[in-house]
Chain A
């Protein structure tokens, strides 16, 4: 029995002028129906690539080397272009970081939304407009009539992101992939958008995959989450479990690097070094060069993801060796 969404050992590489860059090096995760799932990591860890792969939206330079993405028992990677077309929007939708570049500046919000509704749902123009209006209302926008006839530049950042979410939910998809939906927004607006997402989740029986670099966002909104580093899942589990006892040294380091009032005047625990440029070329654990607890084995083989508790798995040799990372 496969779960709602299951990604198994996904390897994706990009061809560039300078050779092949491995973006994903064995991503394995599962998302359960109805949950808010977080995908966390720093720039270049492969979180967006994972999201794009789920929708069959990878750029041409990307090559899936191995692995599978089972969504509702079907392998997305084996789908034809036509099958993908009916999957996107209908079953899986995606919203992006910057709503001002994701919306088309030369069409009104109404006409962009109508097009989606007519294409996917086969509605006529009037029905499509009514549906767009209803959805804009559902995401909490005031004065829907005006917004339908407004161009993206008439709206504020928060309103644009709400409109994006409304557009993504037009066909009531089962899964919404939200790629850094609040990164371009101010913190108070961020709070509103996140609250809206959890509200819509129960209203539309939606599963949300929230891609973010912000652990605070994850802590507050997600049921489960995975930490990605250099194209691999290093830790995955229930939010409460992982935040209570973070297992992987990288997760611990990330949490320690956030400035908090308690740390005032003290040096922050920065992670030395930088993310590997081409993690595929690294043998062993990709985090080893920056890890405070590294030992010989880490440099030779990559640790597999192993369950450490009922609702938590970790990819590190430390707990296997019985050592204490902290």
Chain B
């Protein structure tokens, strides 16, 4: 897939940092600080899909929320379409909200259990879009059709839908305001493999059709590689490696990327026989890559990769 890169990136993040204060420390007098995102810089161009991979606690979700300004950064700049948004007030952010939308991991939790599908998808149209109810019904139907659902789903509640259908509703809701950027935070992690494939196909298709830009966050390197043009690997709040997926898969530079790559099941062609296996699992067993407890709280000057 070729991506036409415009001159300026849609999103540019410069030295972005987010610290969380941890509770405790009253005995020692030292407040512990968790460096969730630490001096991260990246660019995402219009129409591009950038994948952020890393394990739980590496700061990838925090990064996504910072870009959406759902969290306030501790330091650094966020440029959206050339405009600095890191310090904008809530009211100033509101017009930008319709351009950036988000899909979360667990659709059963991110969809209101008390609303019907029609109301869930219509809500952004009503609250931000200012579209009257009678017009919104047709628009909602169009959105549902775009994600592979139909009129028969309009009056259902989330609990009457399967996990995959719920995630389709969440995507339809995210698309309601014609955004340019979608932040996808583990959109298929709660789904079965066969359904995951459906949703991944849908996301690839939507991006092509609507010219969307993706920030795709996942712990699954295989999934990210499938959807994204470029991949950034995060570890302990920092981006340790980034580049086109093909290059990273062919020659992972950072030891952490190697461990991550080795731990995913991959289909290899061995004498024409398809084999699924965890390739470098034996390597991971060795204590050299004993990555059991990533520790985002700095100890002394450096990190403690245990």
Contacts and interface: CB of A to CB of B under 8 A. Distances in A.
Interface of A: 42-43, 156-159, 186-192, 194-195, 213-220, 243-244, 253-255, 257-265, 267-272, 274-275
Interface stretch (B78-86, B126-134, B149-157, B277-285): B277-285
Interface stretch (B14-22, B117-125, B190-198): B190-198
A191 to B, nearest CB: 4
A219 B268 CA distance: 12
Interface in B216-235: 219-223, 225-226
Contacts of B290: 192
B222 A258 contact: yes
A255 B194 contact: no
B32 to A, nearest CB: 15
Nearest to A260: B267
A186 B55 contact: yes
B259 A213 contact: no
B267 A270 contact: no
Contact of B265 (A159, A195, A217): A217
B292 A270 contact: no
Contact of B245 (A191, A215, A257, A261): A261
Interface residues of B, number: 52
B278 A220 contact: yes
Given A187-B55, A195-B284, A253-B194, A219 B275 contact: yes
A263 B56 CA distance: 26
B260 A187 contact: yes
A103 B264 CA distance: 28
Contacts of A157: 56
Contact of B201 (A192, A254, A267): A267
Which 7 residue pairs spanning A and B have beta carbons closest together?
A216-B265, A270-B197, A259-B226, A271-B194, A186-B55, A187-B263, A257-B197
Interface in B235-259: 245-246, 249, 259
B196 to A, nearest CB: 7
A269 B197 contact: yes
B225 A259 contact: yes
A14 to B, nearest CB: 17
A219 B245 contact: no
A156 to B, nearest CB: 5
A254 to B, nearest CB: 6
B291 interface: yes
B222 to A, nearest CB: 5
A86 B195 CA distance: 41
A261 B130 CA distance: 43
B246 A191 contact: no
15 contacts: A186-B219, A187-B221, A187-B260, A188-B263, A191-B262, A191-B278, A194-B278, A194-B281, A215-B276, A216-B265, A258-B197, A259-B226, A264-B226, A267-B204, A270-B200
